[in-house]
Amino acid sequence: MSPLEIDLGCGDGSFLLALASQYPEKSFLGVERLLGRVRKVVKKAENASLINLKVLRLELSYSVEWLLPDDCASRVHLLFPDPWPKKKHHKRRLINKKFCESVVRILNKEGEFLFKTDHEEYFEEAIVALSDCHMLERIAWDSKEFYPVTDFERLWLSEGKEIYSARFKITK
């Protein structure tokens, strides 16, 4: 079975489609809650004849905590999730202890978790949660590796916002 990479919250699919095109030997799974976005990604994948890409319409936290099997992924990407900036909404943020434990469970023994956001406070909170997870170790982000820019990243960069990135490897 080819290595599986999971894009949590794949949005319009531009990142996922670029990866699937660049790495035809790998398998890719996009997880997205919104039906309209899922339909767009599926249509784009079909138009590009990408057979190494599937999309799952489901809530991200549910897919990670309950659906995805142990050791199934070589990489999990979480790019620009909703930071829920209002204090009263912080409980809705995706990255927490339970999420981190679930990510560790689904990553294989060489697995990696990659996270990007434009929201500094959320980034700092996420880094604490991820660093507290006993089987994840933060490593350098390899800027030479092919890593497509998402639409949100392009937008935030055009507005002069800073992008915060973190890469973790599994230590099982």
pLDDT digits (tens, 9 = 90+) for 63-111: 999 999 999 999 999 999 988 888 898 888 899 999 999 999 999 999 9
- pLDDT grade for 21, boundaries at 50, 70 and 90: very high
Query: What domain count does the chain have?
Result: 1
Task: Give residue-wise pLDDT tens across range 111-148.
Answer: 999 999 999 999 999 999 999 998 999 999 987 788 99
Work out the burial of residue 29: count CB atoms within 10 Å of its CB; fewer than 13 is exposed, 13-18 middle, 19 or more buried.
buried
Given the residues 70, 82, 132, 151, select the one marked as catalytic: 82
- Pick from 172, 150, 162: nearest CA to 14: 150
The CATH code of the domain that includes 135 is: 3.40.50.150
Sheet with 136-139, edge to edge strand ranges: 53-57, 27-32, 4-8, 73-79, 107-117, 164-170, 136-139
pLDDT computed for residue 1 by the predictor:
62
Question: Mean pLDDT throughout 20-37?
Answer: 97
Mapped onto helix, strand or coil, the DSSP state of residue 69 is: coil
- pLDDT single digits (tens) 48-67: 999 999 999 999 999 999 99
pLDDT mean across residues, the chain: 94
82 is catalytic: yes
Give Cβ neighbours of residue 73 (< 8 Å, ≥ 6 apart).
Answer: 4, 5, 6, 106, 107, 108, 111
* pLDDT in the model for residue 60: 94
* Percent of the chain at pLDDT exceeding 90: 82
Positions of E strands within 80-132? 107-117
Share of the chain above pLDDT 70, in %: 99
Q: Which residue range is the domain that position 15 belongs to?
A: 4-170
Query: What's the pLDDT score for residue 45?
Result: 97
CA distance 103 to 111: 10
Q: pLDDT band at residue 5, thresholds of 50, 70 and 90?
A: very high
